[in-house]
């Protein structure tokens, strides 16, 4: 049984977050408008309305970051009335549900599937593309997991399984070990990938015991999710180090978010910090047109300009790919700033990161 811990005092000095068990931190999460209002100056009634539709969870660790850093972290975790604005976006624009052959599996590409193994997260991000699903109280049971495994076992073209959710690492060590052992027993599954945000929202989840389990089921890759350098605390850094030193390559999927990371300095700082902790920037995601998230969208033109502010100005290791996920289940494609200015009969005219023009032979 997880013990509940007292919520934190408002003033926390740097890095003084107590060393607490992750299950206790989950149990101590803020879930209601009243609990939140006791810690942050917020409009209680508006928040209550939003939570009725889209659940809130802010665990004490992430609350301490919000209290310390304010806006860029608050905006990600604290519900806001704009989530209820009606526009033409849909709950599931990517048609994940149509591309789901069995519950919990999204099979969009020939060689890989997403396997949703948890619908809980350590914090419910207000911009989540699976807002329609996460945090509602229907835990994913053994039967659903078995069905997913059966589908993967029966589908020989699947070379890679991406565990996602919700957050797969909110499963217990024993459950994860069971899942991974079952996946590894399937001969055609070459690669296992885990998509998890706990490195930024609940780094206490990453323990030496978990690292030891994950390291037994390689080749296994972990992609995490940081949106702002303020999330890279000593605790987060330690969590990443545990996995990297256990031989697990780590990448990061960042979501481009208005009011959080939509500036060259914020993005550059984030990417540099990621590389410094040995987490390779993988994708910078354009926000999907998901209902309840319009206030986070950054125009594509601005996204392209931001990519231009990275490429060439900093190490190629720091540059993720800027991705859009096509509506209707078309899949992801990268967007590149317009480096090719003209295509002639024999040459292309290109522009470098300093805005200088060059001619380059076509053949
Ligand atoms: C994003 C995604 C993947 C993984 O795509 P990569 O480009 O390999 O990272 C796989 N399946 C679905 C349904 C996805 O949305
Ligand atoms: S951790 Fe991921 S799945 Fe969970 S709410 Fe945040 S974005 Fe959504």
Give the model confidence (pLDDT) of 167-195 as tens digits. 999 999 999 999 999 999 999 999 999 99
Distance 248 CA to ligand 2 centre (A): 22
pLDDT of amino acid 6: 47
Closest by CA position to 55, among listed 133, 142, 170, 169: 133
Please tell me the number of the ligand nearest to residue 227's CA.
2
Closest ligand 2 atom to 129 CA = 8
Q: Helices in the chain by DSSP H: which ranges?
A: 22-27, 33-37, 44-53, 60-69, 71-77, 142-154, 173-184, 198-201, 208-215, 234-244, 264-276, 300-310
Residue 135 pLDDT > 90: no
Of the two residues 306 and 7, the one the predictor is more confident about is 306
Whether the predicted pLDDT of 5 surpasses 60: no
Least confident of 53-62, 125-134, 189-198: 125-134
Q: Ligand 2 mean position to 198 CA, how many Å?
A: 9
How far apart CA 339 and CA 320 sit, in angstroms, is 16
Ligand 2 atom closest to 122 (CA): 1
What spacing in Å lies between the alpha carbon of 46 and ligand 2's midpoint?
A: 22
Measured from the Cα of 201, ligand 2's closest atom is: 1
Question: Which of 88-92, 295-299, 316-320, 357-361 is the least confident region?
Answer: 88-92
Return d(Cα 248, Cα 241) in angstroms, integer: 10
pLDDT reading at 296 higher than 50: yes
| Residue 79 scores a pLDDT above 90 | yes
Q: Which of 197, 225, 254, 325 to mutate to test the pocket of ligand 2 (most atoms within 8 A of CB)?
A: 197
pLDDT reported for residue 71: 94
pLDDT band with cut points at 50, 70 and 90 for residue 12: very low
Alpha-carbon distance of 332 to 148, in angstroms, equals: 23
Q: Is the pLDDT of residue 223 over 70?
A: yes
CA proximity to 221, closest of 160, 177, 276: 160
Task: Look at residue 121 and tell me whether its pLDDT is greater than 80.
Answer: yes
The ligand whose atoms approach the alpha carbon of 161 most closely is 1
Distance 23 CA to ligand 1 centre (A): 29
Band (87; pLDDT cuts 50, 70, 90) = confident
pLDDT at residue 8 is higher than 70: no
Q: What is the residue extent of each domain of the chain?
A: 22-84, 105-333
Phi, psi of 64 (to 5 degrees): -65, -35
Cα of 197 to ligand 2 centre, how many Å?
7
pLDDT for 16 equals 67
Q: Which residue ranges have their beta carbon within 6 Å of ligand 1?
A: 106, 108-109, 112, 114, 162, 332
Which ligand does the CA of 163 lie closest to?
Answer: 1
Averaged pLDDT, 299-323 = 97
Atom 7 of ligand 2, residue of closest alpha carbon: 128
Query: Greatest CA separation found in the chain?
Result: 71
Name the more confident of 28 and 12: 28
64-87: average pLDDT? 94
Q: For the whole model, what pTM was predicted?
A: 0.93
Q: In this structure, are strands 340-343 and 331-335 parallel, antiparallel, or unpaired?
A: unpaired
Q: What pLDDT does residue 91 have? A: 87
Whether pLDDT at 14 is above 60: no
Atom of ligand 2 nearest to the CA of 130: 8
**How much distance in Å is there from the Cα of 2 to the middle of ligand 2?**
23
> Among candidates 77, 80, 46, which has minimal Cα distance to 295?
80
In this predicted structure, the answer to whether residue 304 has a pLDDT above a threshold of 90 is: yes
Return the pLDDT at 23: 96
What percent helix, strand, coil does the chain show, rounded to 5?
35, 20, 45
Q: What is the pLDDT of residue 20?
A: 82
Residue 15: pLDDT above 80? no
Q: What is the DSSP letter of 198?
A: H
Give the right CATH number for 105-333 from 3.20.20.80, 3.30.565.10, 3.20.20.70, 3.30.70.2520: 3.20.20.70
pLDDT at 13 over 60: no
Cα-based torsion angle of the residue sequence 49, 50, 54, 55 in order, rounded to the nearest 10 degrees: -80
Atom of ligand 1 nearest to the CA of 106: 13
**What pLDDT sits at residue 11?**
40
What is the percent of the chain with per-residue pLDDT over 90, rounded to a whole number?
87
Return the closest-CA partner of residue 240 out of 260, 256, 224: 224
How many angstroms is it from 312 CA to the middle of ligand 1? 27
Q: Average pLDDT over the chain, rounded to whole?
A: 93
Ligand 2 pocket list (CB less than 6 A): 121, 124-125, 128, 130, 134, 165-167, 197
Q: What is the pLDDT of residue 138?
A: 76
Residues tagged active-site: 108-109, 112, 121, 125, 128, 130, 288, 325, 332
Q: What pLDDT does 82 receive?
A: 95
Phi then psi dihedrals of residue 221, to 5 deg: -110, 145
Residue 204 Cα to chain centre, angstroms: 17
Q: Minimum-distance ligand to the CA of 123?
A: 2
d(CA 3, CA 25): 9
User: Which residue's CA is minimally distant from atom 6 of ligand 2?
Assistant: 125
């Amino acid at each position: 049984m997880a013990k509940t811990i007292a919520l934190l005092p408002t003033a926390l000095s740097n890095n003084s977050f107590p060393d607490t068990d992750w299950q206790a931190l989950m149990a101590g999460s803020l879930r209601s408008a009243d609990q939140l209002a006791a810690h942050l100056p917020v409009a209680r009634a508006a928040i209550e309305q939003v939570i009725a539709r889209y659940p809130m969870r802010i665990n004490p660790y992430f609350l301490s970051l919000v209290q310390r850093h304010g806006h860029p972290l608050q905006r990600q975790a604290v519900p806001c009335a704009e989530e209820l604005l009606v526009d033409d976006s849909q709950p599931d624009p990517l048609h994940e549900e149509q591309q789901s052959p069995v519950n919990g599996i999204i099979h969009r590409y020939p060689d890989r599937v997403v396997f949703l193994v948890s619908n809980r997260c350590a914090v419910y991000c207000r911009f989540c593309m699976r807002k329609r699903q996460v945090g509602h109280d229907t835990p994913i049971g053994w039967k659903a997991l078995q069905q997913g495994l059966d589908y993967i076992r029966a589908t020989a073209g699947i070379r890679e399984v991406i565990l996602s959710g919700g957050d797969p690492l909110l499963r217990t060590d024993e459950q994860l070990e069971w899942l991974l052992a079952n996946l590894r027993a399937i001969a055609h599954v070459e690669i296992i990938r885990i998509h998890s945000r706990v490195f930024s929202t609940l780094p206490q989840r990453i323990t030496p015991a978990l690292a030891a389990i994950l390291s037994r089921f390689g080749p296994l890759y972990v992609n995490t999710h940081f949106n702002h350098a303020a999330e890279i605390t000593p605790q987060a850094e330690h969590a990443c180090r545990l996995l990297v030193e256990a031989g697990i390559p780590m990448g990061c999927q960042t979501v481009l978010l208005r009011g959080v990371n939509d500036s060259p300095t914020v993005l550059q700082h984030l990417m540099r910090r990621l590389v410094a902790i040995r987490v390779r920037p993988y994708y910078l995601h354009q926000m999907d047109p998901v209902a309840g998230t319009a206030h986070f969208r950054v125009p594509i033109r601005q996204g392209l300009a931001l990519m231009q502010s990275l490429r060439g100005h900093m190490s190629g290791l720091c540059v993720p790919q800027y991705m859009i996920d096509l509506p209707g289940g078309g899949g992801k494609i990268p967007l590149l700033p317009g480096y090719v200015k003209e295509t002639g009969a024999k040459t292309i005219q290109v522009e470098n990161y300093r805005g200088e023009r060059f001619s380059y032979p076509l053949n």
